[in-house]
Amino acid sequence: MSRIGKKPVTLPQGVTATVEGKTVKVKGPKGELKVSLVSEIDASVGPDGVTLTPREGAERGRQMWGMQRTLVNNLVVGVTQGFTERLEINGVGYRAAVQGKNLNLQLGFSHDVAYPIPAGISIVTEKPTSIAISGIDKQLVGQVAAEIRGYRPPEPYKGKGVKYANEYILRKEGKKK
Banded pLDDT at 1 (limits 50, 70, 90): low
Specify whether 72 is located in the same domain as 94.
no
State the CATH number of the domain containing residue 113: 3.90.930.12
Is 87 in contact with 163 (CB distance < 8 Å)? yes
Element (H, E) at 140: helix 138-151
Q: Which domain holds residue 45?
A: 3-80
**Residue after which a domain boundary falls, among 80, 101, 132:** 80
**Residue after which a domain boundary falls, among 47, 80, 113:** 80
Specify whether 87 is located in the same domain as 151.
yes
Specify whether 112 is located in the same domain as 153.
yes
Specify whether 21 is located in the same domain as 50.
yes
Specify whether 76 is located in the same domain as 44.
yes
Residue 52 CA to residue 50 CA, distance in Å, equals 7
Task: Give the three-class secondary structure for 124.
Answer: strand
pLDDT tens digits, residue range 41-87?
989 998 889 999 988 888 888 888 999 999 999 999 999 999 999 99
Segment 122-145 shows an average pLDDT of 94
pLDDT tens digits, residue range 87-114?
999 999 999 999 999 999 999 999 999 9
Sign of CA dihedral 140, 144, 149, 151: positive
DSSP 39: T
Give 139's contacts (C-beta < 8 A, 6+ positions apart).
74
Q: Is residue 172 part of a domain?
A: no
Specify whether 90 is located in the same domain as 160.
yes
Tell me how many domains the chain contains.
Answer: 2
Specify whether 54 is located in the same domain as 88.
no
**Residue after which a domain boundary falls, among 55, 80, 105:** 80
Specify whether 28 is located in the same domain as 97.
no
pLDDT value for 176: 85
Q: Is residue 92 part of a domain?
A: yes
Q: Is residue 173 part of a domain?
A: no
Q: How far is CA 1 from CA 9, 52, 106, in A?
A: 17, 12, 50
Specify whether 74 is located in the same domain as 90.
no
Q: Is residue 169 part of a domain?
A: no
pLDDT value for 58: 82
Specify whether 41 is located in the same domain as 75.
yes
pTM of the model: 0.88
